[in-house]
A and B are shown apart, each in its own frame.
Chain A
């Protein structure tokens, strides 16, 4: 698979993969009064401040083919280290803080009293989430997904450590650019890949902004 298709595939898979935990964590942070919120918030935000290479190293330790988890995943046919799933995992972990932050903002914009009314009408918290919170904030979640996807496209440090640079398997656009920089006559290919990267990321940001604006306008109208 060429590096552009692979990057898109990795970005999409990472976004889908991190969507459930991102929604759950954002809900926990925004809608509960648990004392563990501070700890969870710190943990989730760590990938934002840790050097990506460090994240890659920690992930490699966790998913090492010699470790129990790595062996179990390999046995299940889904090895992470030095596999395209490794690129997905790295992109998902590095993109998670942004994703959680954007979903959190979307949830913050939904008046929590809607949820109180829903529960007073007999709907449990889980049903309330699916019937009220999610339908009201899904455009915000989608906007977050677009940003998370863009972040996944650009992931380099953690990916090269966890997944390596295997052409056609784990070599995403940033890894290919890195390789082409040293290759004789690679400038033209680098320029082309940079242009594709920029275009994809700008498209994601535009989609995210449009969704966000539409979402806030919709909430405003319905207030």
Chain B
């Protein structure tokens, strides 16, 4: 998407948002501390806050009301309509398409006839995301969609969002006050502070090493007991009994080691050859992106230098089976 925004919001309490930017990306993240204006900027794009100039792919949406913009809006509180079943929530939009694909992608097929009050917090968020996806939005606006979830559920939710992004190809803007949430899901980021844009660029360039906790989300096919095939590589992972078919997995970038020669007699179950696709500096750390499987590895600058890592370098990746988390069926 190509997005141009010029938002100015003045609040009685003295807070002022003045943010103008344009970018060309399919996944934009708005980051910054609480109260910096991220949600207000998102609301301006949505049309909830009036007066912002918003141009999406050359179409000026500034004069369109909220219901005429076709922007899906998902918040931390799922805000499912409490008087409607999950199915009725999914088909609520007049532009709603078939619900089956989204329900399958988000694993809510068995919940369709339930009322929202009978769902868990995680299930509600999945339904809210599915509802937005089914409405076929031109742009998906996500306001802290993973706030308040514990670590495991947050990883599950992020992996699902990544899955949805890959499956439905909907451009999105993600708001998060936790920078580590956005790196796996966005390629462009804007950092706000006190209502002003203070940094913008690629997500990695905008993030700070001190707040970065990079995660990899990927999918694979179960190829045997505790083995998953990912991009042609068999990985050992701890899988629940009876897991089969396609699964979603996650692994932190700092849990992956790189070695120039194949290590032997090592407890880690996954040692496989890799090729470095690209590298990006993150203060005194380096994010190394591997070709197959596409994983990000976080190493220190010193380690990258001593291993002489550069794009095209062939090396070995080492991952403990317990560092690969199974997040559910894909």
Residues of A at the B interface (CB closer than 8 Å) are 111, 113-114, 116-125, 128, 131-132, 135-136, 219, 221-223
In whole angstroms, how far apart are the Cα atoms of A125 and B132 in the complex? 18
In whole Å, how far is B300's beta carbon from the nearest beta carbon of chain A? 44
4 A-B pairs with least C-beta separation = A222-B82, A120-B73, A121-B93, A119-B67
- Shortest beta-carbon distance from B4 to chain A in Å: 20
- Asked if A135 contacts B92 (CB within 8 A), the reply is no
Selected contact of B81 from candidates A118, A120, A219, A223, CB within 8 Å: A118
Task: Assess the A111–B117 pair: CB atoms within 8 A.
Answer: no
Output the least CB separation between A136 and chain B (Å).
6
Q: Is B79 an interface residue (CB 8 A)?
A: yes
List of B residues within 8 angstroms of A223 by Cβ: 82
CA distance A113 to B43 in the complex (A): 12
Number of interface residues of B (CB under 8 A): 27
B212 at the interface (CB under 8 A from A): no
Complex Cα distance, B69 from A124, in Å, reads: 11
Query: Which of B83, B95, B132 gathers the greatest number of chain A CB atoms within 10 Å?
Result: B83
Scan residues 131-157 of chain B and give those whose CB is less than 8 A from a CB of chain A.
131-132, 135, 141
Interface residue ranges of B61-86 to A (CB < 8 Å): 65-73, 75, 77, 79, 81-83
* A116-B73, A221-B117 known; A122-B79 Cβ under 8 A: no
List residues of chain A with CB within 8 A of the CB of B77: 113
A117 and B73 within 8 A (CB) = yes
- Tell me which of B46, B81, B83, B94 contacts A122 (CB under 8 A): B94
Interface residues in B106-134 by Cβ distance below 8 A to A read: 116-117, 131-132
A53 to B117, CA, bound (A): 50
Q: Quick check: B81 and A132 within 8 Å, CB to CB?
A: yes
The reply to whether B79 and A117 form a contact with Cβ atoms under 8 Å apart is yes
Q: For the complex, what is the distance from the CA of A123 to the CA of B91, rounded to whole Å?
A: 12
* Given known A113-B75, A122-B70, contact A135–B46 (CB-CB < 8 A): no
Among the listed B66, B82, B83, B117, which residue makes an inter-chain contact with A120, where contact means beta carbons less than 8 Å apart? B66
- Nearest CB in chain B: distance from A211 CB, A: 16
A116-B48, A121-B131, A128-B67 known; 14 new pairs, CB 8 Å cut-off, are: A111-B79, A113-B75, A113-B79, A120-B46, A120-B71, A120-B72, A120-B132, A121-B93, A122-B70, A123-B67, A123-B94, A124-B65, A131-B92, A222-B83
Asked whether, in the complex, the Cβ of A122 is within 8 Å of the Cβ of B135, the reply is: yes
A119 CB contacts on chain B under 8 angstroms: 65-67
Roughly how many angstroms separate A109 CA and B117 CA in the complex, as a whole number? 17
CA distance A135 to B66 in the complex (A): 21
- B contacts, CB < 8 Å to A: 46, 48, 65-73, 75, 77, 79, 81-83, 92-95, 116-117, 131-132, 135, 141
Give every chain B residue within 8 A of A122 (Cβ-Cβ): 67-68, 70, 93-95, 135
Contact A222:B116 (CB < 8 A) given known A113-B79, A114-B81, A121-B93: yes
Closest to B134 in A: A121
In the assembled complex, the Cα of A123 lies from the Cα of B92 at a distance in Å of: 9
Q: Which residues of A contact B131 (CB under 8 A)?
A: 121
Q: How far is the CB of B207 from chain A (nearest CB, A)?
A: 28
| Residue of A122, A219, A221 most packed against chain B (CB within 10 A) | A122
- Residue among A111, A114, A119, A221 facing the most chain B CB atoms (10 A cut-off): A119
Residues of chain B contacted by A135 (CB below 8 angstroms)? 83
A114 with B67: CB separation less than 8 A: no
Provide the bound-state CA to CA distance between A135 and B141, in Å.
Answer: 26
Interchain CB contact under 8 A, B81 and A116: no
Q: How far is the CA of A117 from the CA of B84 in the complex (A)?
A: 14
On chain B, the residues within 8 Å of A219 by CB distance are: 82
Q: Within 8 Å CB of B71, what residues of A?
A: 120
16 contacts between A and B (CB under 8 A): A111-B79, A113-B75, A116-B66, A116-B73, A117-B73, A117-B81, A119-B65, A119-B66, A119-B67, A120-B46, A120-B141, A121-B131, A122-B67, A122-B68, A122-B93, A123-B67
Which among B79, B94, B117, B131 has the highest number of chain A CB atoms within 10 Å? B79
Instruction: List, in ascending order, chain B residues with CB within 8 A of A128's CB.
Output: 67
- In Å, the complex CA distance between A136 and B79 comes to 13
Query: Which B residues are CB-close (under 8 A) to A131?
Result: 81, 92
- Among A114, A120, A136, the one with the most B-chain Cβ atoms within 10 Å of its Cβ is A120
Contact of B79 among A114, A123, A124, A125 (CB under 8 A): A114
Task: Give the residue name and chain of the B residue nearest to A218 (CB).
Answer: B82
What separation, in Å, do the CA atoms of A58 and B95 have in the docked complex?
Answer: 50
The residue on B at minimum CB distance from A219 is: B82
Contact partners of A117 in chain B: CB under 8 A: 73, 75, 79, 81
| Contact B48–A123 (Cβ < 8 Å) | no
User: With A and B bound together, what is the CA distance between A142 and B298 in angstroms?
Assistant: 61
Q: Give the complex CA separation of A116 and B82 in angstroms.
A: 15
A121 and B135: CB pair below 8 A? yes
Residues of chain A lying within 8 A (CB to CB) of residue B48: 116
- Which residues of A lie under 8 Å from residue B92 when comparing CB positions? 118, 121, 123, 131
**Distance between B52 CB and nearest chain A CB, rounded to angstroms:** 15
- CA of A125 to CA of B65 in the docked complex: distance in angstroms? 10
Question: Which residues of chain A come closer than 8 Å to B135, judged between CB atoms?
Answer: 121-122
